[in-house]
Amino acid sequence: MTAKSNALPWLLLSALVIVLDQLSKWWALSSLQPAGVPHPVIPGLLNWTLAFNRGAAFSFLAGSDGWQRWLFVALAVVICAAMAVWLARTPRRDWRTALPLALIIGGALGNVIDRLHAAQVTDFIHVYFRQWNYPVFNLADSAISVGAVLLIAFGLFAGRQDGPVR
């Protein structure tokens, strides 16, 4: 495989995820003040609710003294670098590997920007139904989650062919 045929161009999708994530967070910060006040979008299902998370997923370590900021930044950078190497070793046509990796990289770096800029991640999407509430999240979190699910799903079905078994 030559350098020109690797999947690194998929990083353009990562860049798009970062731009959309940062624009959506800018909108949330400028439009959804004060924090914690729900703005119904689909009553009974979806609100825009500005929230901030100093921790990781589901506010893991959010109550710590601030060291977690640098841990999560370093962890995201190392994981993104490893995934970029994976992309460099992946054929460009292998979209089942490249798409999920690009989504995860874009989402992770979108949240890294928040951590570096404000020491917290801006969240604003609140999905709920009756008494059930999912933690407030953002577009970067969605990209990471979709990418992870696709990576697992495509990995589970790797090598399976449509057509007769030989």
Catalytic residues: 123, 141
CB of 91 closer than 8 Å to CB of 1: yes
113: Cβ–Cβ under 8 A, 6 or more apart, which residues? Answer: 18, 22
The residue behind tokens 């003040």 is 33
CB of 114 closer than 8 Å to CB of 122: yes
Positive or negative, the Cα torsion across 100, 102, 105, 107?
Answer: negative
d(CA 103, CA 147): 5
d(CA 148, CA 67): 26
